[in-house]
């Protein structure tokens, strides 16, 4: 016998996910959903790019320093 497929995401089952999708359709309408998905994808890619850029070490340039040198 086949085991049932586990569709639980964060404790939500299939019926709950269907209700959430229907509510989103009612709130935003079918015409705006592709636009919302596209903008969400773009923002996620920008977030990932920013996260990767911040993980790279910045090259040190001894000629340009934000801190003034102390003269004794």
pLDDT in tens, 6-65: 656 677 788 888 899 899 889 888 888 889 889 999 999 999 999 888 877 766 765 655
pLDDT at 44: 93
**For residues 17 and 45, what is the distance between their CA atoms, to the nearest angstrom?**
25
pLDDT at 1: 57
**For residues 39 and 31, what is the distance between their CA atoms, to the nearest angstrom?**
14
Q: Are 13 and 7 in contact (CB under 8 A)?
A: yes
Instruction: Using the CB atoms, write b or e for 8-43: b if 16+ within 10 Å.
Output: eeeeeeeeeeeeeeeeeeeeeeeeeeeeeeeeeeee
pLDDT band at 66 (very low <50, low <70, confident <90, very high): low
């Amino acid at each position: 016998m086949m085991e049932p497929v586990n569709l639980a995401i964060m404790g939500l089952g299939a019926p709950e996910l269907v209700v959430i999708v229907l509510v989103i359709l009612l709130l935003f309408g079918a015409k705006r959903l592709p636009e919302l998905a596209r903008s969400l994808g773009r923002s996620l890619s920008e977030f990932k790019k920013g996260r990767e850029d911040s993980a790279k070490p910045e090259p040190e340039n001894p000629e340009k320093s934000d801190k003034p040198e102390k003269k004794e």
